[in-house]
Amino acid sequence: MRNVYFDICSIPLYVLILWTCYFRRITKDHASRVFIRMNVVSLVCAVLDIAMEFVVNPLPLSGGRVALGTAISFSYLLLRNATLVLYLIYVYAATRTEYRIRSPRARFMIWAPNAVVVALLLINFVRPLVFSVTAEEGYARGPLMPLVYAIAALYGIVGGWYCLRSKKYLPAGKWIALISVYVLTFIAVFVQLFAPVLLVEMFSTALGLLMIMLLVMRPEESIDASVGIASWKSYQTDLQNILRTGQPVQIAVVQVLNADEIRSYIGEDDYAAFIRSAADGFEEVLGGEKIDVTMYYERPGAFYLILEDMGVDVPALVPRMVKAAREKMGAYAGKGIRFDPRFCVIRCPEDLKEYQDIVNLGHRLSKLGVQGQEVFLASELIGSKDYAVTNHMDEILHRAITEGTLVMYYQPIYNMREEKFRSAEALARIDDPKYGLISPGLFIPAAESAGLILPMGDIILELVFRFISEHDLARLGLSFIEINLSVAQCLQADLVATVKALQDKYGVSPSQVNFEVTETIFDNLSTTMDKNLRELASLGYSFSLDDYGVGYSNIQRLRTLPLDIIKIDKSMVDDMFTEDGEVIIKNTVRMMKGIHKELIVEGVETKEAIEAVNALSCDFIQGFYYSKPLPEAQFLRFIEQNNGIAARQ
Ligand code: C2E
Ligand code: MG
Ligand code: MG
């Protein structure tokens, strides 16, 4: 009897590998699925190998045992050869070059030698050329067994050669693990050739696969543990590999536009479950269509789906994917959470072929394209001005700070009772010599993340204070100008000193300035910020809370700061004509009035909306209905005309 102890030891190893794969959720991408299949087949082979020893011993064999032994040997050889094919496919998948074996011709080449083995094994039932199981001799190798080994060796040589060739696609550790399976199998076959009683083949394969499990499939690198989806880091590596090989792929980028908001509302744990349900929804639709896709997740709210099939019409699937995701996250909808994704499909290398360009487009997606549209093709975004602007933001910001390209526009704010324009909001723009007029929606967040918002904020303050000093607000009928302050400015230790210096320099009265802050300051409340706001308030500056209704601020927090005016966001106005929306805005107005706040309704565009807002007895309206933000001279003319003031000579 041969020594089956190695085979027996291999079984727990295979079970361990499989269990780890499932436990660590390394089951999602194509390479992992091939790897798992290979482990399952190898496990079955090991079991068959052990069973065989008990079936064909002791001699002579009964008729039943001969039949069983024949069946087991047949299955073993069949499956054992299949593992070699699977491993070859795995090598292609792990190096992300599987597209090379997608064509029918390549598939034929891959499977043809294996088909010869299958044919030989079938013929073996009639003429025992590969092996025989007889009552007297038990198991014996036939004259064509060397051919089966030769075919196995062929797979080994091709796979080993491909590993050597693909060295550049993988880090050294991973590459060594991949090739080690071949080396270990080679050693095992060698051992078995000279010591046929030692059945070490399945054990050495298990060792090789274990090495892959440990070195190639490191989930801490490749999986985002909180959600169990391939990580941003593995997206980066895979994308780089794909681009290096030139394989055509489609990348669907999904940005959850309101990710930060949702996360701060439902908390980290629920948020992870929320993201999982979105991913499940996407997978359900793509899986249902039998589309081979690898999904990656980047915090806080981006998905990247890489599809190797260029024929899939991703935009056509998006509505169903979003619907399925929303269904999966049904529980959150009850909490008032709305899932607001934006998709972009990038065809590589057709649309973009540089790694950094692809990454940048994904990151800037929320800033590109028109609001309200769910799916974009990269090709339509790339031609847009916004794309050129976001790609050259560094130089644009640099010019804004050093060359004076920052300009202020002013949007009139209408007083409903007096039927006059009584204030205005200062809104920054960059008038770039290369890219023209750039909207703050693009450059303010960029300046914030580039750490340039403070110098930019200082320039804005200076420009507005100067504007106030140069024009007699009282003559124009204006009480004050509103200036947006970003969180970073509110946190700045010398904010009060800066404002005071400007006040003295330009002889501006604090009552002529109102600072707008957003609800995000509630998340950053610190002693510095608190002190800044209170000191400015005590100097006589007033404050507005901007964009009310976008976030989740509660009335209690709102009362902790010296806020005089609440600006109701456009989104609330847009919802006003729905049943719920009407109730919300009505009650918001009543509540704010109750705690003696003045109200500005922002983003009113139509006559219909004006009338509806009027019925709410709001104090002020700011919106395109009256005027868009205007450049200085135009603004002054507008106010003179509409407030009935004689133009200055
Ligand atoms: P915001 O402070 O809420 O400013 C109001 C925005 O709504 C402005 O966009 C204005 O043009 C727009 N708007 C006003 N009425 C309507 C309307 O009827 N319909 C529509 N569709 N839009 C309307 P803008 O100028 O593009 O500014 C966007 C945001 O950029 C501002 O939102 C503010 O958060 C930020 N921002 C602008 N200027 C500055 C600044 O000087 N400093 C800072 N920190 N942020 C600024
Ligand atoms: Mg504002
Ligand atoms: Mg606003």
Distance CA 236, CA 355 (A): 9
CA-proximal residue: ligand 1, atom 6 (nearest): 603
317 near 288, Cβ under 8 Å? Answer: no
Q: Whose CA is nearest to atom 24 of ligand 1?
A: 440
Residue bearing the CA closest to ligand 1, atom 28: 441
CB 589 within 8 A of CB 599: yes
* Residue segments in the chain with a per-residue pLDDT below the cut of 50: none
Predicted local confidence at residue 491, as pLDDT: 92
Residues 140-176: tens digit of each pLDDT: 999 999 999 999 999 999 999 998 888 877 778 888 8
What is the DSSP code string of 516-574? EEEGGGGGG--HHHHHHHHHHHHHT-EEEEEEETTS---HHHHTTS---EEEE-HHHHH
Give the number of the atom of ligand 1 that is nearest the alpha carbon of residue 604. Answer: 18
For residue 413, the ligand closest to its alpha carbon is: 1
Taking the CA of residue 547 as reference, the ligand 1 atom at the shortest distance is 3
Ligand closest in space to the Cα of 568: 3
Span from the CA of 427 to the centroid of ligand 1 (angstroms) = 6
Order across the sheet with 249-256: list the strands.
223-224, 229-231, 293-298, 302-307, 249-256, 341-348, 375-377
- Write down the number of H helices and E strands in the chain: 28, 19
pLDDT of residue 648: 66
Question: How high is the pLDDT of residue 522?
Answer: 77
What pLDDT was estimated at residue 25? 67
Backbone torsions φ then ψ of 513, nearest 5 degrees:
-125, 135
Decide: 358 and 302 in contact? Cβ < 8 Å: no
Q: How far is the CA of 277 from the centre of ligand 3 (A)?
A: 32
Q: In angstroms, what is the span from residue 612 Cα to ligand 2's centroid?
A: 22
The CB density around residue 574, as the number of other CB atoms within 10 Å, is 14
Measured distance CA(26)–CA(295) in Å, rounded = 12
Closest-lying ligand to the alpha carbon of 428? 1
Token reading at 29: 């991408």
Residue 108: partners with Cβ closer than 8 Å, 6 or more residues away:
none
Which of the ligands is closest to the CA of residue 441? 1
Report the separation in Å between the CA atom of 360 and the middle of ligand 1, taken as the mean of its atom positions.
24
Nearest CA to ligand 1 atom 7: 603
Cα dihedral 607, 608, 611, 612 sign? negative
Q: Which atom of ligand 1 lies closest to the CA of 427?
A: 38
Å from CA of 546 to ligand 3 middle? 5
Cβ atoms of residues 320 and 326 within 8 Å: no
Q: Which of 2, 124, 121, 15 is nearest to 52 (CA)?
A: 2
- How far apart are the CA of 371 and the centre of ligand 1, in A? 14
- Find residue 568's DSSP bridge partners: 548, 601
* Whole-number pLDDT of residue 304: 96
- How is 39-71 classified by DSSP, letter by letter? HHHHHHHHHHHHHHHHHS-SSSPPHHHHHHHHH
> Do the Cβ atoms of 13 and 42 come closer than 8 Å?
no
* Sign of CA pseudo-dihedral 483, 485, 490, 493: negative
Query: Tokens for 641?
Result: 């005309």
Question: Residue 462: how many CB atoms within 10 A of its CB?
Answer: 16
Which numbered ligand comes closest to the C-alpha of 458? 1
For residue 585, the CA-to-ligand 2 centroid distance in Å is: 19
The pTM is what?
0.68
Q: Which of 105, 48, 45 is nearest to 72 (CA)?
A: 48
Considering only CA atoms, which of 329, 314, 345 is closest in space to residue 277? 329
Expressed in angstroms and rounded, the spacing between residue 425 Cα and the centre of ligand 2 is: 7
From ligand 2's centre to the CA of 482, what distance in Å?
Answer: 8
Say how far apart CA 649 and CA 640 lie, in whole Å: 12
pLDDT at 258: 87
| 486 CA closest ligand 1 atom index | 44
Q: Which of 442, 484, 547 to mutate to test the pocket of ligand 1 (most atoms within 8 A of CB)?
A: 484
Please give the number of the atom of ligand 1 that sits closest to the Cα of 625.
Answer: 18
Read off the tokens for 550: 């976008």
Q: How far apart are CA 584 and CA 603, in angstroms?
A: 17
Contact 502, 510 (CB under 8 A): no
The SS3 of residue 507 is coil
Question: In the structure, which protein residues have their CB atom closer than 6 angstroms to any atom of ligand 1?
Answer: 411, 427-428, 439-441, 444, 460, 484, 486, 516, 546-547, 570, 602-605, 622-624, 629
CB contact at 8 A, 299 and 224: yes
Q: Which residues contact 575 (CB under 8 A, 6 or more apart)?
A: 581, 584, 585
